[in-house]
Amino acid sequence: MILVTGGAGFIGGNFVLDWLAQSDEPVINVDKLTYAGNLDTLASLKDDPRHLFVHAGIGDREVIGKLLAEHDVRAVVNFAAESHVDRSITGPGEFIQTNVVGTFNLLDVVRHYWGDLPADKKAAFRFLHVSTDEVYGTLSATDAPFAETNRYEPNSPYSASKAASDHLVRAWHHTYGLPVLTTNCSNNYGPYHFPEKLIPLVILNALAGKPLPIYGDGQQIRDWLYVKDHCSAIRRVLADGKVGETYNVGGWNEKANLDVVNTICGILDDIKPRADGAAYASQITYVQDRPGHDRRYAIDARKLERELGWKPAETFETGIRKTVQWYLDNEQWVGNVTSGSYREWINQQYGA
């Protein structure tokens, strides 16, 4: 079986659901259930014997060591992280603890388990580390998209902590021989996305008649990747990726934030018009910019296509329509995540 960390979060949750929809290989899902972890996402697996949920942190060496040995794990996929840039600005400590110290502890426990495996299992074992394009820093409008060979130039506490974790993963391969794979992907969007991030925040604020906050001039560019395409890329890399290599994963969908928000507003005008007939775009509000805000991210995903035959299935236009519809269809999931500590964050970040 495989062991996934952070599988109650946005991407990890989608990965676990998709994995078990396509394969009968069981999954151990280790998640600390921070504010971003949500067992509602995994509700359909409640009585599924192929899914073993374990409430623990990636730094819990004893629990993870025991799980690896008892379940004869053949691969670890590490999604667990603190993942929100804005939170890393107001409170970087947790990012260092989980993304750097946590990844170190996980790697080290996995290394010992792997070291004791018989030769055939040792050769087949994989540790796949899920990282971000933000480690490469920021691009100008005319720069070429990030390739795997770009220099690491992280600018936020979040991206710096992810860069540090990538370096640890690399070192555990070069020094100890641990068979690692690293993926660096662009901004994901899709079902089960926690509404602190731009796309779900805008969908839900629009429906609630609240302001749609645009940081700065809204001309920052992100390269949007539908989460299910990201999950299929991870499955490809896990199956056939070359040990020690890194693979960039992107959607070939560069969009300015303001265009993303206007697209969402247009879809909502179409499928769920406001009662007063006004356009949702009238809720757009410019707010103070994020400190150190990276201007542009874009991924060159040609290596993954050339070497492993992976390409995204969704365009932004098809993926964003599915995503808006998903939020309209899943009121209960939304109601549960937008209570309690979520409200505190929104008040702290945007003011009551």
Among 51, 162, 173, 236, binds ligand NAD (CB under 6 A): 162
Piece of 193-201, 241-249, 278-286, 323-331 that binds ligand TYD (CB under 6 A)? 193-201
* Least distance to ligand NAD, CB of residue 148, Å: 15
Q: For residue 181, which of 105, 100, 107, 242 has the smallest C-alpha distance?
A: 242
Binding mask 254-273 for ligand TYD (x = CB under 6 A): ---x----------------
The Cα 279–Cα 3 span in angstroms is: 46
Binding mask 322-351 for ligand NAD (x = CB under 6 A): ------------------------------
215 binding partner (options ligand NAD, ligand TYD, none; Cβ < 5 to 8 Å by kind): ligand TYD
- What residues have CB less than 8 Å from 264, skipping those under 6 apart? 199, 202, 203, 206, 280, 320, 324
Q: Give, as ranges, the residues between 108 and 137 that touch ligand TYD (CB under 6 A).
A: none
The Cα 291–Cα 4 span in angstroms is: 33
Angle at Cα 190 formed by Cα 41 and Cα 48, nearest 5°?
Answer: 30
**Strands 284-287, 212-215: parallel, antiparallel or unpaired by DSSP?**
parallel
* Least distance to ligand NAD, CB of residue 225, Å: 7
Q: Give, as ranges, the residues between 78 and 97 that touch ligand NAD (CB under 6 A).
A: 79-81, 83
The Cα 237–Cα 151 span in angstroms is: 22
**Residue 97 contacts residue 139 (beta carbons within 8 Å):** no
Minimum CB distance to ligand TYD smaller for 197 or for 235:
197
201 binding partner (options ligand NAD, ligand TYD, none; Cβ < 5 to 8 Å by kind): ligand TYD
* Least distance to ligand NAD, CB of residue 330, Å: 16
Give Cα separations from 137 to 73, 93, 214, 227, 303 (angstroms). Answer: 35, 21, 21, 22, 20
**Residue 300 contacts residue 254 (beta carbons within 8 Å):** no
Binding mask 289-328 for ligand TYD (x = CB under 6 A): -x--------------------------------------
Q: Is 215 in the site for ligand TYD (CB under 6 A)?
A: yes
Distance, C-alpha 351 to centroid of its chain: 26
Residue in the structure block whose two tokens are 């805000």: 293
**Residue 13 contacts residue 19 (beta carbons within 8 Å):** no
Among 162, 222, 230, 255, binds ligand TYD (CB under 6 A): 222
Is residue 134 part of the annotated active site? The answer reads yes
> Where does this chain bind ligand NAD (CB under 6 A)?
5-6, 8-12, 30-34, 36-37, 57-59, 79-81, 83, 98, 102, 130, 132, 162, 185, 187-188, 194
Residues with catalytic roles? 133-134, 158
